[in-house]
Amino acid sequence: MSSFVWFLIITSVLVVSSYRRCSLANTTWFTAIALFIGMIMGDIGFFSWLLFAVVFIPLNITSVRQNYLTRPILDFYKKVMPDMSSTEKEAIDAGTVWWDGEIFSGNPDWQKLHSIAKPRLTQEEQAFLDGPVNQVCSMVDEWQIHHKDADLSPEIWAYLKEHKFFAMIIKRQYGGLAFSAFAQSRVLQKLAGCNTVLSSTVGVPNSLGPGELLQHYGTKEQQDYYLPRLANAEEIPCFALTSPEAGSDAGAIPDTGVVCEGEFNGETVLGMRLNFDKRYITLAPVATVVGLAFKLYDPDGLIGNQKELGITCALIPSDTENLDIGRRHFPLNTPFHNGPIRGKDIFVPLDYIIGGKDMAGKGWRMLMECLSVGRCITLPSTSAGCAKSIALATGAYARIRRQFRLPIGKMEGVEEMLARIGGNAYMMDAVTRLSTNGVDLGQKPSVISAICKYHLTERSRSLINDAMDVHGGKGIMLGPNNYLGRAYQGTPISITVEGANILTRNMMIFGQGAMRCHPFVLDELVAANIADKKEQLNAFDKAVFGHIGFAISNGLRSLWFAFTNGKFAKAPFADSTARYYQTAQGYSANLALLTDVAMGVLGGDLKRRERISARLGDILSHLYLVSAALKRFDEDGRLHEDAPLMHWAIQDSFYQLETSLLGFFDNFPNKALGRALGLLIMPFGRRFKRPSDKLEHTISRMLQTPSTARTRLGDGQYLTRESGNLHGDLEQTLDDIIACEPIFERICKEKNEKLPFTQLESLAEEALKNEWITEAEATLLKQAEAGRLRTINVDDFEHKELISQH
């Protein structure tokens, strides 16, 4: 064979070894074997072996590699990497890496995803949903809550306390319900579909707050005292973190505690003097115990040598002297209890610190770990619950409401919105299902929780805007019969709380994701900060050369994906989803490659290039959303009737992912490199278009027609067909209208006239008189007309009814 053929063979050995991520030793052996065979055949000579020795011997001799390669890289690394604050370090260290790590691997293991068992409710959890949750939903009068009382009724408050709605996360040994994260999610989804004040009131005590913090970090005395009282609602908790000067930048809170001696209950004790100004604190106006975050200082060294201990969390009873609590904010006409808390020169003992003196200064880590769990559950679940209920309601309304003598749902502009509503609702429920399942498996997925919070609240905003457009005046006119307006008003609240969405997308998802999920970046960072120089060099050498091999592999995988479109990649199913698995695998390699390029080229400046960071975060996020939709489709039995929803959700995510990729290429600071990356990764342009009109037509019909697929889309929501349940009334009216349509057509045929689908009651009387229909059919027509009028009519008031009576 010619030298050129052997050059191709050896190059192929190197490419395949790198693609398959073989170790350096194995790659060296494979290359040497190929050279040896070539030498035996007389085609490989001295120069080839010399080149091999020059390249591979230094790489395989540890001392040579470390002194002449690793050490210069380490020195350069220390110069370009930005300083990291203690709060940033704690945020990165908090939580765990789960499926997000597989996405960052460049080669996700789909069998691992599908081996995760489907989440299921226990009999106790299901009974709670079918009993107390349905009952409290039936007690809700949204107009009374929002317009008249600005509060839940006393009966609802009493019911919530009696049935331990505030104790879903508390262990049974303390009198709590100890529900799974999945069960908590289903409870919040049903409550949110009914009323956002109700879901917020229940959600907060079961999320980041005293109950969660006490169970993980409290002393035994604190646990034994507070947890039973929280479980039976003797205590109502809130948690005060946000300050006027520190909102999204919560680590910069100016609130202080100073270790000192003072008088407490008539005795001189060692404690803290607190000064703070908090706002936006949910449940503060009704709380009896306040979880408080502040920065603790020990200027006199009373508890150690460290003068600035850092963020600390303590429990402060609401009746503490000098504590100013009780006033309310009014968040966008959504009157869940929320207000400021202020304290001036409040002295409390050190044992008020959650976890006691030993946990002084460890509050930020505590908060980040608990937030990584709570942020997976509360806001994503309430967003998904609203989405599911609104999807069914909007589909029903579009079928019931007619203009131009046909249901408005048959208009293509409305079809487009209905499809977005249905597809987003499917995706949102898939994400909450997968994420809460991860929590139940013991994960504290900080990156995934940020993805869930941002994308589900944003999709909820898009969905409710579409629903308002479909409903028109029906959605705008508030009153007892409006089931949409209050959710629309309150949507920006979820966008803002638990980390504003702008911050979450631009800084948190990729900022934490690159550090936590990348298999080598965090190891490099840790290694560079090791004090012992020898240990530092050994650790950095292992991390950086693993990283180099990882980057080469992802470059080759990206090139292969670019020209094969992933068609040769393995997929766990040989059906219409195979392409999605193959594409996701390719984009996983692209994400890992672009991360390495961005970090390598921009270095510490990447931290300030927020829009570049945001686009990389979008790629990570959409790969997670796609994974969730694929997992849900499989868990539900790979049902053909659900496939349109799955296809829409995944195609929409891939389209948005590709939009972020193109934005990354176009806006990369090094324009030439940006264009080169575009040619490498997307040489033929987009792989996915927006979901087609045909697919969206199918989903639109699904939302407007009772079916098992439509029922699964709204699974678990409060849809009981009883007086006062507007969503249940819509479902009943939808059934009645569909049942009436053939009767109506028969009457039109008898009259030889195309009639408007109105005044069905008088039409029923006429048709019954002429014996065109039966008595039962006439009753059905009258019932349908009553429901139709309830659906399309809006409320009106005397002027004085709209004036505040307080």
Residue for token digits 């001295």? 46
DSSP secondary structure, 321-386, as one string: TTEEE-----GGG--S-EEEEEEEEEEEEGGGBTT-GGGTT-HHHHHHHHHHHHHHHHHHHHHHHH
Tell me, rounded to whole angstroms, the distance of Cα 333 from its chain centroid.
Answer: 25
The alpha carbon dihedral of 277, 283, 287, 293 has a sign of: negative
> Nearest to residue 38, comparing CAs of 6, 5, 16?
6
Around Cβ 491, how many Cβ atoms within 10 Å? 23
Q: Are 739 and 784 in contact (CB under 8 A)?
A: yes
Distances (CA, A) of 431 to 384, 426, 454: 9, 9, 12
> Nearest to residue 340, comparing CAs of 350, 330, 349, 332?
330
What does the alpha-carbon distance between residue 662 and residue 575 come to, in Å, rounded to a whole number?
A: 29
> Per residue, what are the HEC states of 574-634?
CCCCHHHHHHHHHHHHHHHHHHHHHHHHHHHHHHCCHHHHHHHHHHHHHHHHHHHHHHHHH
What does the alpha-carbon distance between residue 724 and residue 350 come to, in Å, rounded to a whole number?
A: 51
Q: Are 447 and 513 in contact (CB under 8 A)?
A: yes
Name the active-site residue from 102, 212, 415, 498: 498
> Which tokens is 673 given?
């490199």
Residues forming a β-bridge with 289: 237, 317
Residues forming a β-bridge with 353: 314
In degrees and rounded to multiples of 5, residue 451 shows phi and psi of -60, -50
> Per residue, what are the HEC states of 335-351?
CCCEEEEEEEEEEEEHH
In degrees and rounded to multiples of 5, residue 346 shows phi and psi of -90, 125
Question: Residue 73: CB partners within 8 Å, gap ≥ 6?
Answer: 540, 544
Strand 308-317, strand 267-282: pairing = unpaired
> Which tokens is 754 given?
């195309």
- Collapsed DSSP state (helix, strand, coil) of residue 471: helix
Question: Residue 110: CB partners within 8 Å, gap ≥ 6?
Answer: 571, 572, 581
N- to C-terminal Cα distance for the chain? 96
What does the alpha-carbon distance between residue 665 and residue 605 come to, in Å, rounded to a whole number?
A: 17
HSE toward the beta carbon, residue 427, CA cutoff 13 A: 30
Residues forming a β-bridge with 271: 260, 349
Catalytic site residue 641?
no
Strand 267-282, strand 256-264: pairing = antiparallel
- Collapsed DSSP state (helix, strand, coil) of residue 151: coil
> Which residue type does 196 have?
T
Q: Are 687 and 717 in contact (CB under 8 A)?
A: no
> Which residue type does 436 have?
T
Around Cβ 579, how many Cβ atoms within 10 Å? 18
Known catalytic residues are 498
